[in-house]
Amino acid sequence: MTMSDGRAAVVAGHGAFAAGMVSAVARIVGEAHGLVPVDNEEGTPDTIAAAIARALDAAGATVCFTDLPAGSCTMAARRLARARPGLVIVTGASLPVLLAYATGGDVDAAVRAGQAALVATAPAA
Amino acid sequence: MTLELFRIDDRLVHGQVVIGWGLPHALGFLVVVDDEIAAAPWEQELYRMGTPEGMEVRFATVDEAAAALPAYRADPRAGMLLTADITTMARLIEAAPSVAAVTIGGLHHRADRVPRLRFVFLSPAEAAALRALAARGVAIAAQDVPTSAPVPLEAVLAADGTE
């Protein structure tokens, strides 16, 4: 897989969250982003874990971004991590997080980018 | 408030539970009833990691949960009790017949199951087990999130997954 400056990673979440996020990343940095989406449409814990494992293996990835800390994909990824001690799981993924990772390949920097992007603007007086 | 929801969901603690139901019902605690998880600290930690601040998760075997139901109900917080399968819920109700209503929140595709609803797949044995629960007076409906209409058991069993 070719990428910009980042590394491969799996993005997994509820419904079409992952496909939507990866589509948005592609719009911004192009198709060579290294992110592989795994959408969860009514999967079981076992089928979700299997889908994430296949995506990790296919991409040669050791990072998995998920949406909700309590989500089924996060739980499945955490179960996978028992057998894959090197697997890094980042919950609460957003577009700024994924863009930072796709372009820089640094998990910590991606998390910081997500935290920095989360801003509520007060209404104008 | 009290333990007000009994849910069968093969994912146990996940987004629909902690957010979808947790926020509108202001759930303060969850009880995961599962004999294997009750003996697996690592699994328990996994579920605790996914639970938001202010929501307690307890783990119990069927026997422990049956004995503790009065205490769960006396809890001033709103709570939900979860099992991953029909068999476990049926065992709990056998031991604690006071359970009046059960919601099927998610039972997904498996080789021996046929589709009933988008989020409910049942084997013939599971369908029979649900009928047996209904026959003893337990109100059973399928409902994944609070904003969707509950589907009564008879309608679930009459459906073919094409809704």
- CA pair distance A106, A20, nearest whole angstrom: 22
Question: Do the Cβ atoms of A44 and B11 come within 8 Å?
Answer: yes
Q: Does the interface predicted TM-score (ipTM) exceed 0.90?
A: no
Is residue B113 predicted with pLDDT exceeding 50?
A: yes
Model pLDDT, residue A4: 43
Q: What is the count of residue pairs from A and B with beta carbons less than 8 Å apart?
A: 51
Length of chain A: 125
Cα torsion through B110, B92, B143, B43, rounded to 10: -60
**Nearest alpha carbon to residue A13 among A33, A38, A45, A42:** A38
Is residue B110 predicted with pLDDT exceeding 80?
A: yes
Q: Does A92 touch chain B (CB under 8 A)?
A: no
Return the residue of B nearest to A44 by Cα: B108
Structure tokens at B97: 């017949």
Model pLDDT, residue B1: 54
Question: Do the Cβ atoms of B119 and A79 come within 8 Å?
Answer: no
Domains of chain B (ranges plus CATH)?
A: 3-158 (3.40.35.10)
Q: How many CA atoms lie within 13 A of B43 on its CB side?
A: 15
Q: Does A112 touch chain B (CB under 8 A)?
A: no
| Distance to chain B for A71, nearest Cα, Å | 5
Q: What is the CA radius of gyration of chain B?
A: 15
For residue A7, how many other CB atoms are within 10 A of its CB? 19
Q: What is the mean pLDDT of chain B?
A: 94
If you write DSSP's letter for every residue of A27-90 in order, what string do you get?
Answer: HHH-STT-EEEEEESS--HHHHHHHHHHHHHHHT--EEEES-TTSHHHHHHHHHHHH-TT-EEE
Q: What is the CA radius of gyration of chain A?
A: 14
Structure tokens at A1: 């897989």
Report if pTM > 0.90.
Answer: no
Q: Residue B117: CB partners within 8 Å, gap ≥ 6?
A: B142, B151, B156, B159, B161, B163
Q: Which residues of A touch B118 (CB under 8 A)?
A: 42
Q: Residue B80: CB partners within 8 Å, gap ≥ 6?
A: B3, B4, B5, B6, B7, B17, B21, B22, B25, B27, B29, B30, B31
Name the interface residues of B facing A (CB cutoff 8 Å).
10-11, 13-15, 17-19, 42, 46-47, 49-52, 106, 108-110, 118-119
Most confident option among A2-16, A26-40, B77-91: B77-91
Q: Sheet containing B139-142: give its strands across.
A: B56-60, B27-33, B78-83, B3-9, B101-106, B139-142, B151-152
| Distance to chain A for B8, nearest Cα, Å | 13
